[in-house]
Structure 1
């Protein structure tokens, strides 16, 4: 019997020079993914990373697995082909807010609604970093950039709201440098179907500290890390979320002496889609940022349905190419004789 060799993060790192700007959050995400792979029991020979275009899309070069660096916004289409060709492969899509939600928004929508079994990691830095700092679909109103010198007037796309509205069955959020990122990655991998993870990723050059209101150490109390079956508490357990049943919305309540039940704090149920919408829509300021697994309600996957349909179509039949090409009307083109 052959013994399985326990892999380490180094087994998933290539010999390629990692080329992002010093201090970029992509480094932290790369390390988190490389650390997580051995814990998942991932096989490099059975793992594929597919990316589009953007800073994040260098990712496949740095993973000692199979990978495709594809074209702008089309990573989901390539990943769909990979998964249909071999449903046993472990497929990860790496994309950015510009790649996935601008030119690639239709592809992102369709891979989610089809529920392809894959993990989609969307690095959101709210800016176009690779093309030198233009505003992106997720940039906030007022964002000044080379393409919006007087401030953006666009209302931004909210990635998790987009995913949920597109029919995603797994929606999560994480922070590039946070210790909980590997746990979110594991949860995404454990979900059978399209698992969408928005990762808040700091662009130190063009949009530095845009997420500081909830990522900075002094604002850690603004982070609500959700866990199934546990109360929605934040700020060291001194505050929580309850359901305002008249307004049908969430509201923040104070929690005295850790008695969250007396404060009517609600327990997280990742299958509750209505509450998931509310959690995603909470504005930062008076509310915390909802992080972790927000929604998780599996259903049959796209590739399994395709495989079942194909097997049913060929059941009891034998392959006969000649019969196929001869089916229906056929004719033969005769070569015309030459005159003279």
Structure 2
């Protein structure tokens, strides 16, 4: 946990909570088999561990399949407008330090119309947690390509294949100097919940990209990461402070090249000192960025876990400090006097 806990000001509950306490009476309306169900269950079963009052937890969403999330959480919630969930959540988090604020968004919502709102929330380091459901498709509008769809993707809006180079959400977040950047998978509840715990305790903005299967319009997009026969050989599980070693028999590792990028090597062929040790707390984002590039077609390996987890004062902490300083030096202020000051006139 970096710095002091952002949950320190959020009221705690005296009653023991369970997953049932976070379920609503609303019918969950996603397509049968959608990965959103697994994420919802993971969040509902994880939140009781925080011991927070449900009325002090808020979920803010934008537009898309994932954005129905607030209806199914027995907390406060706000189903907002397309791409603007980080902006609305920023206002909420900065004005209410007694809340645990979560944003639920999708790859289309967050990375198309919401792109600027996302990167500015990250760079400001506002005390909120962003869950980015990435299924690499527009599901709610029935299967158009999204900002994370691969080049050549055949969809209703790209019948001859997409020409757009896709966003890498992790690279984008690291490039925006996000202080907590992580990736996990909808079907791996243990890993998903471990990342959520770390995100909840992080001071500032935490971005968690969740690979989420859309079984209707992009089924199987992440199957290799779930296939028992190959997943261990292509999935790199990041553990802070540990050498980056992977493979079914732990036979593969990462080594730095002279250009600063990474290459996959056989453990038996290198000296242990050459193997990269993961350092999520490194203020220099270059290692985290290099790791984020490993799932490009040239490497075909996918890191999951926490890429970056650095300590930096949150935007809301600094804003409150400025307000307190202004009140001490200039007095508490008078809104009516402020509105009536300066160049004012009356029209009869």
Q: TM-score, normalised by structure 2?
A: 0.90
> Does residue 106 of structure 1 match 2:105?
no
**Cα distance in 2 between the residues matched to 1:291 and 1:148:** 29
**Cα distance in 2 between the residues matched to 1:24 and 1:186:** 23
Tell me the C-alpha RMSD between the 2 structures: 2.0
1:312 to 317, 325, 341: 325
2:7 corresponding residue in structure 1: none
Cα contact 1:95–1:122 (8 A) shared by 2:
yes
> Does residue 167 of structure 1 match 2:181?
no
After TM superposition, the structure 1 = structure 2 runs for residues 20-59 of structure 1, keeping only pairs within 5 Å, are: 20-59=30-69
After TM superposition, the structure 1 = structure 2 runs for residues 1-340 of structure 1, keeping only pairs within 5 Å, are: 4-178=14-188, 179-221=190-232, 222-236=234-248, 237-244=250-257, 246-256=258-268, 262=272, 264-272=274-282, 273-282=285-294, 283=296, 286-316=299-329, 317-321=331-335, 323-331=337-345, 333=347
**Displacement of 1:142 after TM fit?**
0.8
**Displacement of 1:37 after TM fit?**
0.3
**Cα distance in 2 between the residues matched to 1:48 and 1:80:** 12
**Displacement of 1:231 after TM fit?**
1.2
- SS of the aligned residue for 1:313 comes to helix
CA deviation map 1:124-171 (0-9, x unaligned): 000000000000010000110110001101100111111111221111
Runs of 5+ unmatched residues, structure 1: 336-340
**Displacement of 1:271 after TM fit?**
2.5
Greater C-alpha Rg: 1
**Cα distance in 1 between the residues matched to 2:205 and 2:155:** 33
**Cα distance in 1 between the residues matched to 2:259 and 2:175:** 22
Cα contact 1:240–1:260 (8 A) shared by 2:
no
1:338 corresponding residue in structure 2: none
- SS of the aligned residue for 1:137 comes to coil
Q: Structure 1 pair 286/324, CA: closer, same or farther in 2 (3 Å)?
A: closer
Cα contact 2:175–2:289 (8 A) shared by 1:
no
Comparing 297-306 with 312-321, which one deviates more in the overlay? 312-321
How many aligned positions are there? 330
CA deviation map 1:30-80 (0-9, x unaligned): 011111101222321110000000000000001110000000001011101
Structure scoring higher RCO (CA < 8 A, sep ≥ 6) equals 2
- SS of the aligned residue for 2:229 comes to helix
Runs of 5+ unmatched residues, structure 2: 1-11
**Cα distance in 2 between the residues matched to 1:93 and 1:206:** 24
